[in-house]
């Protein structure tokens, strides 16, 4: 059988983990890449052996050989590129968050319905093996009736300075491009998706969010931003200017969100702290996430996701006086991308919907926005209030 031909639109930072999804993929190959940054595009095409490289996504969508695309761009471009791709008859895997607002989510859902093509939002944490194991244990009744979930996020530093391309940061702190809320919207969308997957639908949310300039933290981390060249690794080339983060770049951390599940006395908590005094040794970004599930008979702890700060077995369960450790699984965070993309291509072949559906992606966005509105107005907010 001929392999599906996939096009990647946006080949910036995170796309290198997407590329891993096509290395040993039995059903699909990376056929084309697209980015407005021509130098980066050529480098990626060579590195990954892509047959076509386009600087305009419309050219990629006009290529009849492309069966499916992945959209991996800044958030304000998700809806336009996603709808155009579906209208061009391509299946679509959209990076999180699905879009900027509910209207855009509806446009994507409607375009997918009209086209009859597969549309999914890639939520890689749903494929992270320790979280998948925790879900299996929970669903098998291993800790009894589920009662609550606690999610902890730590953003720290690697303990040495980075040279970060300005473009990777600038759009994230520009509300018109990111949708606003580096933590509660962009990063938080992972954890609200996980909270729904593990324990069910969310009825209402309450939160506290602190907004503060990120500049002092970046300075502590030794981060120097570079304007003029994208995707620099190591030292800057000639003619590039190192810049400090502007004061108006606000990080929405520390923050806490709490929620109640629908039709049940079940609760969730999500807490984030950002302190670059904490060293987080990581192959990826210096942040880590832990999940604690409580049931009527015991607990399940997932002790890592992006990094392995705690250096404990990835899954630990306590039940009936006995602690059991589970280490027989892949723990590299990158594995969640590979599994998530294999699920996408397998879903296309088998006519099966992979996670997340467009409707689920929209609810995740509504929960993130509900948390932001709650902090602003000091009241409980139901996700469906967000229109
Ligand atoms: N799952 C995760 O854990 C995770 C981690 C990081 C980023 N992301 C998501 O991935 C997406 C991209 O993030 P990133 O970190 O790779 O950002 P990035 O800034 O590193 O890369 C974005 C790329 O898109 C390109 N681009 C901009 N406009 C374009 C256009 N019109 N056509 C084609 N390409 C265009 C840019 O040139 C850049 O190379 C976002 O949705 C982000 O939230 C997810």
Does the pLDDT of residue 92 top 50, yes or no?
Answer: yes
pLDDT of residue 159: 67
3-class secondary-structure state, position 69: strand
Of the two residues 263 and 208, the one the predictor is more confident about is: 208
Q: Where are the beta strands (DSSP E) in 13-74?
A: 28-34, 52-54, 68-71
- Our answer on whether the CB atom of 197 is closer than 6 Å to any ligand 1 atom is no
**Confidence band for 235, pLDDT divided at 50, 70 and 90:** very low
**Pocket perturbation via mutation, ligand 1, pick of 7, 8, 9, 12 by most ligand atoms within 8 A of CB:** 12
Tokens standing for residue 186: 């962009």
Instruction: Tell me, in angstroms, the distance from the centre of ligand 1 to residue 307's CA.
Output: 21
Instruction: Tell me, in angstroms, the distance from the centre of ligand 1 to residue 36's CA.
Output: 11
pLDDT of residue 234: 40
Pairing type for strands 28-34 and 4-9 reads parallel
**Confidence band for 226, pLDDT divided at 50, 70 and 90:** confident
- CA–CA separation, 85 and 78 (whole Å): 10
What is the number of residues in the chain?
Answer: 387
Q: Where are the beta strands (DSSP E) in the chain?
A: 4-9, 28-34, 52-54, 68-71, 91-95, 119-122, 146-157, 163-165, 202-209, 212-213, 224-227, 241-243, 250-251, 255-261, 267-279, 287-295, 298-302, 315-319, 322-326
- CA–CA separation, 112 and 289 (whole Å): 33
- CA–CA separation, 387 and 383 (whole Å): 9
- CA–CA separation, 22 and 27 (whole Å): 9
- Our answer on whether the CB atom of 289 is closer than 6 Å to any ligand 1 atom is no
pLDDT of residue 239: 61
Least confident piece of the model among 102-116, 149-163, 166-180, 317-331: 149-163
Query: How many other C-beta atoms can be found within 10 angstroms of the C-beta atom of residue 385?
Result: 14
**Alpha carbon nearest to ligand 1 atom 3, residue:** 124
Q: Mean pLDDT, to the nearest integer, of 35-59?
A: 97
Terminal Cα distance for the chain, rounded: 44
Does the pLDDT of residue 107 top 70, yes or no?
Answer: yes
Least confident piece of the model among 120-124, 308-312, 328-332: 308-312
CA of 168, closest atom in ligand 1: 19
3-class secondary-structure state, position 243: strand
Average pLDDT score over the chain: 94
Tokens standing for residue 176: 């018109």
Does the pLDDT of residue 238 top 70, yes or no?
Answer: no
Instruction: Tell me, in angstroms, the distance from the centre of ligand 1 to residue 71's CA.
Output: 8
Tokens standing for residue 150: 């606690």
Instruction: Tell me, in angstroms, the distance from the centre of ligand 1 to residue 9's CA.
Output: 9
Nearest to 39 by CA among 53, 58, 59: 53
Peptide bond into 254 cis (omega under 30): yes
pLDDT of residue 216: 84
pTM (predicted TM-score):
0.95
- Our answer on whether the CB atom of 60 is closer than 6 Å to any ligand 1 atom is no
pLDDT in tens, 60-75: 999 999 999 999 999 9
Pairing type for strands 255-261 and 202-209 reads antiparallel
pLDDT of residue 233: 44
**Confidence band for 100, pLDDT divided at 50, 70 and 90:** very high
Domains of the chain: 4-122 (3.40.50.720), 128-332+366-385 (3.30.360.10)
Q: Mean pLDDT, to the nearest integer, of 204-218?
A: 92
Contact 150, 266 (CB under 8 A): no
**Confidence band for 167, pLDDT divided at 50, 70 and 90:** confident
pLDDT of residue 78: 98
- CA–CA separation, 168 and 173 (whole Å): 10
Tokens standing for residue 78: 């998700």
Instruction: Tell me, in angstroms, the distance from the centre of ligand 1 to residue 186's CA.
Output: 12
- CA–CA separation, 347 and 349 (whole Å): 5
Does the pLDDT of residue 163 top 80, yes or no?
Answer: no
pLDDT in tens, 7-46: 999 999 999 999 999 998 999 999 999 999 999 999 999 9
**Confidence band for 261, pLDDT divided at 50, 70 and 90:** very high
């Amino acid at each position: 059988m001929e392999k599906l031909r996939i096009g990647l639109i946006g080949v910036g930072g995170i796309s290198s983990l997407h590329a891993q999804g096509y290395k040993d993929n039995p059903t699909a190959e990376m056929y084309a890449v697209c980015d407005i940054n021509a130098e980066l595009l050529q480098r990626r095409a060579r590195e990954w052996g892509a047959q076509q490289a386009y600087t305009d996504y419309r050219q990629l969508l006009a290529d009849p050989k492309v069966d499916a695309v992945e959209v991996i761009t800044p958030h304000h471009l998700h809806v336009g590129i996603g709808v155009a791709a579906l209208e061009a008859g391509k299946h679509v895997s959209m990076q999180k968050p699905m879009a900027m607002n509910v209207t855009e989510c509806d446009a994507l859902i409607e375009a997918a319905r009209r086209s009859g093509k597969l549309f999914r939002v890639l939520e890689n944490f749903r494929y992270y093996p320790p979280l998948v194991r925790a879900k299996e244990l929970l669903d098998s009744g291993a800790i009894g009736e589920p009662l609550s979930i606690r999610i902890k996020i730590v953003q720290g530093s690697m303990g040495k300075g980075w040279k970060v391309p300005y473009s990777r940061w600038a759009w994230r702190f520009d509300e018109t491009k990111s949708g606003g809320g580096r933590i509660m919207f962009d990063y938080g969308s992972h954890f609200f998706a996980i909270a729904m997957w593990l324990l069910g639908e969310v009825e209402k949310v309450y939160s506290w969010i602190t907004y503060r300039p990120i500049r002092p933290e970046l300075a502590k981390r030794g981060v120097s931003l570079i304007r003029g060249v994208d995707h620099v690794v190591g030292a800057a080339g000639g003619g590039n200017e190192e810049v400090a983060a502007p004061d108006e770049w606000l990080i929405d951390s520390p923050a806490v969100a709490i929620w109640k599940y629908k039709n049940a006395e079940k609760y969730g908590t999500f807490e984030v702290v950002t302190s670059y005094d904490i060293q987080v040794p990581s192959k990826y970004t210096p942040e880590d996430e832990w999940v604690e599930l409580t049931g009527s008979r015991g607990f399940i702890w997932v002790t890592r996701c992006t990094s392995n700060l705690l250096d404990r077995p990835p899954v630990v369960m306590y039940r009936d006086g006995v602690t059991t450790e589970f280490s027989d699984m892949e723990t590299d965070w990158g594995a969640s991308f590979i599994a998530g993309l294999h699920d996408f291509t397998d879903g296309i072949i088998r006519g099966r919907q992979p996670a997340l559906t467009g409707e689920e992606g929209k609810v995740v966005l509504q929960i993130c926005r509900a948390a932001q509105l709650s902090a602003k107005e000091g009241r409980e907010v139901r996700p469906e209030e967000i229109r």
